[in-house]
Amino acid sequence: MKKKLLIITCILTILLAFTKSYDVKGTEELSYIIAIGLDKSDSEKEPLSLTIQIAKPDTTGETGGTTIKTETETVNCNSFNLGLSMLNLENVNELNLSHCTAIVISEEIAKEGIENFINTLTNNIEIRPTCNMLISQCKASELLEKASTIEDISSKFYSSFINSAKITSYVTNCQLSSFFASLHGDVTEPLALYTFIKNDTIESIGLAVFKDYKMAGRLSGLDTLCYNLLTNEFEEATIEVYNPQNPSIPLAVHLSGPTESKIKVSLENNVLKIKCDISVNSAILSASKNYDFSTENSRKEIEAEINKFLKESFSTFLNKTSKEYNSDIIGFKGYFNKNYLTQDELNNYNWNTLYPKAEFEINVTNYLTSGFLFSKN
């Protein structure tokens, strides 16, 4: 009896497995979206313009093999889900978002607010939390169309922006999950990569800074380097400073290997005091033949010049984000909260009122490791 029951159970399991397989769609039945673009439309009735970039096989090559090409499709709609449904009706294969690597939002929409979009996108189970968040200086549709002409497989193109962070530190990792977490958290404000079309290519340098659901402003590549150092996400970068021996000629300096930055936030006479201690290693990459690094004093002069450059850069970055954008993207509020044991104590202070008036103390230390390579000619 037990043997008979076991055989029946096995047969039912196999039948159920094959029954479920009828609901699974093969890759040949799906069209994979690798990027989404959101713009304002010219229609009052359908204010949103949704653009998708689709990867499709191309068998028309001279070699006879199959390659992947991308193309874009755009529709005006009232919401993201409705627009996606409309595009599905126009495609033979069902649209699938599981390979989407970039969400591109035009700067125009970002400045008005993206509350209606970001929660919907995050709630879509097909969109991966690692999807990159990009703000486009031009229309998102234009950027996606340009990307389709640049790369055969554009998903690699969007990932290249993030990969460059490891060697330049002029961009940083901006994923949908961290963007959503910052929106609904209570410590940091959201960030997205800032992208634009330049000549025949697309560049991503700097960040789009948000205050809640609205874009408050833009950071440069140097600002982003400062951000990466303060958040301990820094890898390496190259900067230019000027040697006191010859102020008219720039000196290329490689920065790397910092220790963790130290941040302290206190309140004195109802004024926020934010102290930032940053240290990096530096190496001279190139210099004029007239430079003299043969003495200890000359190397100390260069170290001082690097420290001055970085200190001024940090000062510009911090004042811009606090006083101009009123956006705490570093998470200073988290350091401030540590000073209080209870929520009642913390409720006595309004961070949004205190932060724009914050005073910063910036201490930069750098260790020049390659001055000995250059001697007096």
- What percent of the chain is modeled with pLDDT above 70? 82
The class of domain 222-377 in CATH terms is: alpha beta
Strand-pair partners of 48: 40, 77
DSSP annotation of 261 reads P
The reported pLDDT for the residue numbered 19 is 45
| CA-based radius of gyration for the chain | 26
Q: What gap in Å lies between CA 294 and CA 285, rounded to an integer? A: 16
pLDDT in tens, 131-179: 999 999 999 999 999 988 876 566 677 777 767 666 778 888 899 999 9
How many Å apart are CA 87 and CA 53, to the nearest integer? 11
Question: Please, what are the averages of pLDDT over each run of 10 residues along the chain (377 residues)?
Answer: 51 47 52 94 94 78 62 94 93 89 96 91 93 96 90 68 72 92 92 92 91 95 95 91 77 85 95 96 77 75 91 97 97 94 88 95 87 47
Going by their DSSP bridges, the two strands 30-40 and 94-96 should be labelled as parallel
Domain positions in the chain are: 28-219, 222-377
pLDDT at res. 165: 62
What one-character-per-residue DSSP string does 85-104 give? HHHHHH-SSEEE-TT--EEE
φ, ψ of residue 248 to 5 degrees: the values are -85, -10
